Amino acid sequence: MTILDLIVLLLIAGLCGALGQAISGFSRGGCFVSIALGFVGAVLGMWLARKLGLPELFPIQIGTTTFPIVWSIIGAALFVAIISLLTRRRV
């Protein structure tokens, strides 16, 4: 994996994390939080898809790494929704 591949992977993960935050309606943090949510969402989404026997939807090949776009967005939205339920809202 080259530096360019890593940068593209980070950008795609950031976009998936930001979309997951937008879907769930709960947003804390900036760019780095979105990137982390994109990767956590990919792990959570693919785990959930494998448990349910669902196929990998819209994977993108970046160098030698395959990144599942749809499952990353769904996993990030689920993860952010769980976090928003567990944290208290500030008044």
pLDDT of residue 86: 87
> Dihedral angle at the C-alpha atoms of 62, 67, 68, 72, nearest 10 degrees?
-130
Alpha-carbon radius of gyration of the chain: 13
pLDDT of residue 90: 65
Q: Which residues of the chain have pLDDT under 50?
A: none
The pTM (predicted TM-score) of the whole model is: 0.85
pLDDT of residue 65: 85
| Dist CA 14 CA 61 (whole Å) | 16
